[in-house]
Structure 1
């Protein structure tokens, strides 16, 4: 007897419709879960990115050390030009399949002790262990008790530290080094969690590029001031010239616009320009550098043929070019999900402000 597949229990179907993004990319993986899949090198790259974008007020420079001879430094944040000889913080990156244990990092304590004792660098102001699964209970307790941490490091020195600091020599805890350990400030040691890093990183312009999940909500744009600002003078001058071509009269100031249709058009164009300016600011804070400039280039490339065609006058040219911008199909740029028709009109005027487009025939 042939079995019928229809009699086999089917898995339950999704309760909501599948989106195009889900079909293309699969389910969204939370950032903390995604970090667990990173290689150690990718993890260091993420921590470097976090320090660079999230701590700009804290550091003058952020530098990644990698390879042999890094002296126990992974990511360093320098507060002044003296770098390793000045005020700096170390972010020691660990990517294991478990929360960090004391046995995982005894040698790291030893390295910062030895290399600062040897004069290779000044002792860091802060020293953070950074691991996607964080510090385990035993290590967290030691990090919270500087005296106990010193005591345990000394007890573990011969077994876990002495022969692991360098590949060329053993580092016994002799009397002078022991005196340095006794005086060393063990309160500099702490740990950062992946949750802390992700929460900070969420506010950076590179977060969505790394983790996906869509752009944040875009705030409302500013309304144009009553008087034309210096930042918009170039495209406004061109617009007034275009209106002059249309009416056959010289228009040197918006107050000289007597035709209601043109007055309303001018108001809409200024609103569109400020809308596009708000998109520029939003892009600066929400997407990687160059994304907004790429959108300008896309729109410029899409309207330039219309721009260069013959038009009865400058006003007709403006109308034709902005319509071409609104009608364009743009699918690749990350900002396209949060743009509107006004943005496209405004971008045309941003291009005119840069003299990449001209509204008058001459």
Structure 2
């Protein structure tokens, strides 16, 4: 018997290799990351998803824990009647497999049984939520309410009768069977991993959990012609700094008309303040709480020695501090990838607005 030998061909070159790819490897889509989650990681994700996403849809969202949950996991309430009103149920399960009919018969049975006993009204919608979604068999049943009902009846004895409660067996007698046959099984559905990821994408913790970078930052609003109350403190500080520089009082911005350099500086600092405020709003919606404040603290720590040094006047102090802020090497904060030099000037004015920085000594 002869053997043919061939050389191993050179592999095709990788395309679009970046520094980030070399350091961190290729980006794994979030829905694929969900497949790798441990039960604890899944629990953390569900908590985030429920807190940031479901709370936007309902007046109240609660999670039921313990053995007496009566088949209710995460409930979203549309009115004050809660379980006696209009509500939706999200049954969050972590299995090593895509959900099968045998995984859910008892859960469906609980909803039927406890609503039959009038412990709550049937939910408006009932979603199975699992990292690997539902398998083809269960998906087919969820798309056919009549078939789902018939299969529940057929599997009641084996999977439901002894599992609803530990205190009794729930027999599918004539009255319960009539209730099951009249029950609206179209309420049962499932959330796909793609749906979960898309809903979670709107949360401020999405990038921190899944990576992939921050979404595009909107343009900052232009400062209004009239100075607003919430910017009055840093404006007053700037006017005092200008007064110290020219040696005469500056009561309001209109007094800067005869000093074009200071007038233009003032307009730039107001623009910078609004840039920083837009970054604050962007951070609130895009990164975990405290991220923007941490960046502010980095700016403060980096400029405070310059701030405390001796300067010719308040205007010189402002210029020295903002210059120092722009030159800072900040790499750890996730907002740094979308922060511009003008934001750093603006954060200095935010710090002045909070009296953490003082442009004049008096």
Distance in 2 of aligned mates of 1:140 and 1:23: 40
- 1:125 corresponds to which residue? 124
Cα offset, 1:97, TM superposition: 4.0
Cα offset, 1:212, TM superposition: 0.4
- 2:292 corresponds to which residue? 292
Is the 8 Å Cα contact of residues 48 and 63 (structure 1) preserved in structure 2? no
Cα offset, 1:130, TM superposition: 1.5
- 2:59 corresponds to which residue? 60
- 2:3 corresponds to which residue? none
The residue correspondences of 1:211-360 to structure 2 (distance < 5 A) are: 211-257=210-256, 258-360=258-360
- 1:99 corresponds to which residue? 98
Look up the SS of the partner of 1:223 in the other structure.
Answer: coil
Cα offset, 1:118, TM superposition: 3.2
Distance in 2 of aligned mates of 1:138 and 1:16: 40
| Partner deviation per Cα, 1:185-208 (whole Å, 9 max, x = no partner) | 222111111111111211221110
- Structure 1, unaligned runs of 5 or more: 1-6
Q: Which runs of 4+ in 1 moved over 6 A?
A: 7-10
Distance in 2 of aligned mates of 1:63 and 1:44: 15
Distance in 2 of aligned mates of 1:316 and 1:256: 19
Cα offset, 1:141, TM superposition: 2.8
Q: TM-score, normalised by structure 1?
A: 0.91
Cα offset, 1:84, TM superposition: 3.1
Cα offset, 1:10, TM superposition: 6.5
| Partner deviation per Cα, 1:152-204 (whole Å, 9 max, x = no partner) | 21111111111122233221112332233233222211111111111121122
Distance in 2 of aligned mates of 1:283 and 1:310: 34
- 2:24 corresponds to which residue? 25
| Partner deviation per Cα, 1:247-303 (whole Å, 9 max, x = no partner) | 001001111112121111111111111111111111111111111111112212222
Cα offset, 1:67, TM superposition: 4.4
Distance in 2 of aligned mates of 1:118 and 1:42: 35
Look up the SS of the partner of 1:56 in the other structure.
Answer: helix
Distance in 2 of aligned mates of 1:71 and 1:45: 23
Distance in 2 of aligned mates of 1:140 and 1:345: 55
Distance in 1 of aligned mates of 2:98 and 2:245: 72
Quickly say closer, same or farther: Cα 1:254–1:130, change in 2 above 3 A.
Answer: same
Cα offset, 1:16, TM superposition: 4.2
How many residues matched? 355
Decide which moves more: 324-333 or 118-127.
118-127
The residue correspondences of 1:67-106 to structure 2 (distance < 5 A) are: 67-106=66-105
